[in-house]
Amino acid sequence: MDEQNQAGAPQKYTWPKYVLAGVVLGIVLAIIWMAALVHRIRGQREDLVWPTNAAKPAASAPASNSVPSTNSTASPGR
């Protein structure tokens, strides 16, 4: 009976090691991926030509509700 009550060595599981390795690998790949995206975006920003304020601003269009001015001095209704 002593043999039945005697506890054997606890079973060691190997799957947690694989799960941990998968999580670590996923984090490392995410960091590498983000670094590559940041590098690509920075390269695209350097290639862009941003407009400067040195150029003359475009003339504004006349308001659509404005009444055209007339040179006549006669009042309306006469």
Res. 8 pLDDT band, cuts 50 70 90: confident
Buried-exposed string 27-42: b where 16+ CB fall within 10 A, e elsewhere: eeeeeeeeeeeeeeee
Which range marks the domain in which residue 29 is found?
Answer: 15-46
* Residue 39 is assigned to a structural domain of this protein: yes
pTM flag (> 0.75): no
* Residue 38 is assigned to a structural domain of this protein: yes
* Residue 27 is assigned to a structural domain of this protein: yes
Most confident region among 2-11, 16-25, 49-58, 66-75 by mean pLDDT: 16-25
Residue pLDDT, tens place only, 38-54: 999 998 888 777 666 66
* Residue 41 is assigned to a structural domain of this protein: yes
Based on the structure, what is the number of domains in the chain?
1
Q: Looking at the predicted structure, is the pLDDT value of residue 78 above 60?
A: no
